Structure 1
């Protein structure tokens, strides 16, 4: 029965290897969640083999997908059923599958938060109620908003604040700061806290962003992963933490300003659009920084 279900689910698709999938991603583009190395490394950490599928027109590979059974690879649902939900956290990341711009293919694996970029390229997509929050361009904020953000940064620096880069620190140091600030902010442990250093080491080449310090102590951090596709930059804001005792300085807001400004400058220097996702559009603070876009599911 299970084999018949897989044959039905994969009809029209052909098994391919990891190298072919990586080549499709580099040609057609994708997001952090579907990046070949992210999929490969986190799947190995979970001990779950990846089945790569390709959709061909003659000899031409039009689309590719990494699968965990009937789900997209790295799926929360699979981790949950295996008792591994606390292994790593990718939030509600935007899913962009590598599909040729001129193609429209049938995809039957289950997934959520599929990007609007795939909307005309997958025949089975259904709109989901929850959209995604994508960071606005700098000029889309009012002059008053930008002035206030620069003022808050200046006041923090005058009070002994410092801006340092995430990659100035080792994965173990990153994990320690994030775990501490997350618990301070929310009162409970960050998802995947026991494996943070290991995950940060595996994904180090994709980590970006700044950390705020005051009087040599970290006060705000955001976990950001950045990948570069041929036609855009995909950047995911997974989660963050702040020291509530420094709320008078608005460190979370200051850090969002620093990180979004830096990401836009980087993307524009490369001549590429930026898809800086804050995940599910479900919080009022995200509306300050983002515009809401549709998301889809299968």
Structure 2
């Protein structure tokens, strides 16, 4: 086990509070999922000679890192928690061998995990919002001002109930994709962990126009924002409505991160669409090679 010892959930919480992690590996999300799905979860820690925790990990299905999308799919996880990146709570500078599998280890842990490799990982990457130029910010703000001048308004999702948000998101998602979301699963997640809530809904002439569904989790050195999906009224002629829906959330994420004086990690997921090139830079994902 390369020095890893079995541990408790409380040990894991201690490590996460010390060293941070991602949304899918946060104690709140793990506890939520473990109460509803049988991942056969186990916790392990590395400790130093004085008994201090250096690293912690939650393992699913015997030997996979918790949050691994393949395991989530295997167990039919209906809850909208992104698994595009797995960030483990490991002390900066500590190096270890992970005897657990995944192809989605974050570059945050690249220097920690000796047996993590990008070159052997089909060049998997993830997109994070980059530092936007002054020109881009001015352009986005002009689009937003025009939206307001033409009858648009914003409502922060913290100012409405979870039921109202889920109904609006479902309506706009169906307009865009002609399928419905799992309203029960989203409502259950947001009601159980309200701190995940983040973002704004765009209204045009008092009707829902667009929403980018984002969840957030702050840890010791950064704030994670995960872009889950987007819905919009496809009948609106303003082609920038989707861009505005994304911009108001990115703008608020920047403001919050600066206020908290921590790094912003706003994920747009895997590089699947061209528009992400305009918003993001790419970070490598690592495969953990085990025996």
**TM-score, normalising length from structure 2?**
0.90
Q: What does 1:109-188 align with in structure 2 at a 5 Å threshold? A: 109-127=100-118, 128=121, 129-137=123-131, 140-143=132-135, 145-188=136-179
Greater helix percent: which structure? 1
Q: What is the rounded CA distance, in whole Å, between the counterparts of 2:85 and 2:25 in structure 1?
A: 9
Q: What is the rounded CA distance, in whole Å, between the counterparts of 1:46 and 1:142 in structure 2?
A: 46
Would you say the 8 A contact 1:113–1:132 is kept in 2? Answer: no
Does the C-alpha gap of structure 1 residues 43 and 222 become closer, same or farther in structure 2, counting only changes over 3 Å?
A: farther
Would you say the 8 A contact 2:69–2:84 is kept in 1? Answer: no
Aligned residue number for residue 73 of structure 1: 66
User: 1:261 deviation in Å?
Assistant: 1.2
SS class of match (2:36): helix
Aligned residue number for residue 4 of structure 1: none
Instruction: Name stretches of at least 5 consecutive residues in structure 1 with no aligned partner.
Output: 1-9
Q: What is the rounded CA distance, in whole Å, between the counterparts of 1:48 and 1:63 in structure 2?
A: 21
Aligned residue number for residue 63 of structure 1: 55
236-245 vs 89-98, greater mean Cα deviation: 89-98
Instruction: Name stretches of at least 5 consecutive residues in structure 2 with no aligned partner.
Output: none
Do structure 1's residue 252 and structure 2's residue 236 form an aligned pair?
A: no
Q: What is the rounded CA distance, in whole Å, between the counterparts of 2:73 and 2:239 in structure 1?
A: 38
**Aligned-residue RMSD, C-alpha:** 1.8
Q: What is the rounded CA distance, in whole Å, between the counterparts of 1:108 and 1:91 in structure 2?
A: 23
Does the C-alpha gap of structure 1 residues 220 and 273 become closer, same or farther in structure 2, counting only changes over 3 Å?
A: same
Q: What does 1:266-281 align with in structure 2 at a 5 Å threshold? A: 266-281=256-271
Aligned residue number for residue 290 of structure 1: 280
